[in-house]
Amino acid sequence: MAFDLRAFRTALGSFPTGVAVVTTSASAEQHMGITVNSFTSVSLDPPLVLWCLDKKSDRYHAFTNSMSYTVSILGTDHQDVSSRLARQGSHSLDGIGLNDTELGPPALADALAVFECKAEAVHDAGDHAILIGRVLRFSRHAHGEPLVFFRGKYGSLAQTS
């Protein structure tokens, strides 16, 4: 029996994830971003995070060769930005509210949390690469609802008091 890749992907979609945008700088004037839902913490000491990138992405070489990147955790008000940066060829940050960072790659304005990372490692993982970053600086906002991705759709968490 053949392994059904589409059914596998659908089953994976049953796990709700947060949504982030990772940004890097191709040059001092040219920044780019990509939407990811594979962001997670790896270690507190040293502070490491990871995210995964499809090898077929048109941004693959820019991110895997980058010395630094910034991860912005998205809130529900960032759904349009997330959709835009999830598409192939839509990597420009023009028209998106940004904040400068010390490392260079900008953060999304009003992100729920921001992690400025120095590239630590890139690991081969099938049709993806696992990018591990060492967090040099971070910040978080006390307000805002997280953007969630579940079964192929954006949503939010139901909050209780």
How many structural domains comprise the chain? Answer: 1
Q: Quick check: 98 and 107 in contact, CB under 8 A?
A: yes
Q: Quick check: 20 and 72 in contact, CB under 8 A?
A: yes
Asked whether residue 15 is assigned to any structural domain, the reply reads yes
DSSP 77: G
What does the alpha-carbon distance between residue 112 and residue 137 come to, in Å, rounded to a whole number? 14
Asked whether residue 157 is assigned to any structural domain, the reply reads no
Mean pLDDT confidence for 140-156: 88
Asked whether residue 57 is assigned to any structural domain, the reply reads yes
Q: Is 46 left (phi over 0), alpha (psi -120 to 50) or beta?
A: beta
Q: Quick check: 138 and 115 in contact, CB under 8 A?
A: yes
Q: Quick check: 76 and 110 in contact, CB under 8 A?
A: no
Q: Quick check: 20 and 155 in contact, CB under 8 A?
A: no
Q: Residue 20 is part of a domain; what is its CATH number? A: 2.30.110.10
Mean pLDDT confidence for 58-75: 95
Res. 28 pLDDT band, cuts 50 70 90:
low
Q: What is the pLDDT of residues 71-109, one digit of tens each?
A: 999 999 999 999 999 988 868 899 999 999 999 899 999
Asked whether residue 124 is assigned to any structural domain, the reply reads yes
| Whole-number pLDDT of residue 25 | 87
Query: Is the model's pLDDT at 161 over the cut of 60?
Result: no
Mean pLDDT confidence for 121-140: 97
Asked whether residue 160 is assigned to any structural domain, the reply reads no
